[in-house]
């Protein structure tokens, strides 16, 4: 597919390769295969710029993140981390956190296409994504305890809401590797596909295309409603916040009118870029 005509400048990539496999879909490929796609400090900043652009660019509706080579992401760059500790230097991180996802306050959904091992920060990335597709060969782990560190990029308080306390404790306290099929049975991921990198990306693209076909306004507000429950807001409080803060903006927009009109007229809706 040829590159779309963007309204905002496309960010440059040193550690990531950007492509556009379907209308409205951004594919971000981590591209440090020799380092198992671990993310260094520059990489976090680059991803922060990419995800910020995804949210701001009107022609894009959803993002996908995957890896190059045999790894999805092996987590933090421990060599860089060790060097910084030796030199008593701090490890600056953008406000959006690890991979610009652990504390991301973004609007548009991001899907993880896990092509291989996802360890440490790699697992934290998928916990913070909205949907996850994995190849059969993919594996997941939180091995931080084996290195004397802790998974502080959002996975610990969030993964327990996804897979429950016993399984979350198992991953965090033992550091053992969980294969893709087991992760699927736990509810950590949406779907397991074949072992080819192309297969896992294609499956993620299909999900992203389904999202992109829907009202961008409704997608954003629906995602916010689910996030509030996931982050620990009670059902009544979450519903109140959604109704008071988000629903009026949805109703005031063009897409709700277009969706209802298209239903009555028995045609496909012609969505406009979200302005929420």
Main-chain dihedrals φ then ψ at residue 272, nearest 5 degrees: -105, 160
Count other C-beta atoms under 10 Å from residue 257's C-beta: 12
Say whether 199 is catalytic. no
Say whether 57 is catalytic. no
Find the catalytic residue in 99, 106, 121, 122. Answer: 121
d(CA 209, CA 217): 16
Residues 6+ apart with CB under 8 A from 8: 53, 56, 57
CA distances from 238 to 211, 229, 242 (A): 23, 6, 6
Say whether 229 is catalytic. no
Q: Minimal CA–CA distance to 112: which of 41, 22, 221, 205?
A: 205
Find the catalytic residue in 62, 71, 74, 76. Answer: 76
CA distances from 252 to 105, 212, 217, 246 (A): 22, 21, 10, 10
Find the catalytic residue in 144, 151, 204, 253. Answer: 144
Say whether 42 is catalytic. no
Count other C-beta atoms under 10 Å from residue 108's C-beta: 23
Find the catalytic residue in 120, 124, 141, 203. Answer: 124
Burial of 39: CB neighbours in 10 Å, binned 0-12, 13-18, 19+: buried
Q: Which amino acids are annotated catalytic?
A: 76, 121, 124, 144
């Amino acid at each position: 597919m040829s590159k779309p005509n963007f309204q905002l400048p496309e960010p440059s990539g040193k550690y990531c390769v950007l492509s556009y496999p379907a209308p409205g879909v951004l594919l971000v490929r981590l591209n440090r295969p020799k380092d198992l796609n671990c993310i260094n400090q520059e990489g976090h900043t680059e991803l922060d710029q990419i995800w910020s652009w995804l949210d701001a660019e009107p022609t894009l509706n959803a993002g996908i993140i995957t890896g190059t080579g045999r790894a999805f992401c092996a987590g933090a760059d421990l060599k860089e981390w060790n060097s910084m500790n030796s030199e008593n230097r701090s490890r600056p991180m953008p406000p959006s956190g690890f991979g610009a996802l652990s504390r991301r306050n973004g609007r548009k959904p991001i899907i993880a296409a896990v092509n291989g091992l996802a360890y440490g920060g790699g697992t934290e990335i998928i916990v913070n994504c909205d949907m996850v597709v994995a190849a059969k060969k993919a594996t997941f782990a939180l091995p931080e305890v084996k290195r004397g560190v802790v998974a502080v990029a959002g996975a610990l308080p969030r993964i327990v809401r996804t897979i429950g306390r016993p399984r979350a404790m198992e991953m965090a306290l033992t550091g053992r590797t969980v294969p893709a099929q087991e992760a699927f049975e736990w509810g950590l991921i949406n779907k397991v596909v074949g072992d080819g990198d192309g297969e896992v990306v294609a499956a993620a693209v299909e999900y992203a295309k389904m999202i992109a076909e829907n009202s961008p306004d409704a997608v954003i507000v629906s995602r916010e409603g689910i996030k509030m429950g996931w982050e620990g807001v009670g059902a009544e409080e979450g519903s109140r916040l959604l109704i008071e803060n988000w629903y009026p903006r949805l109703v005031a927009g063009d897409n709700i009118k277009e969706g209802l009109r298209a239903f009555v007229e028995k045609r496909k809706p012609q969505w406009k870029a979200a302005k929420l």
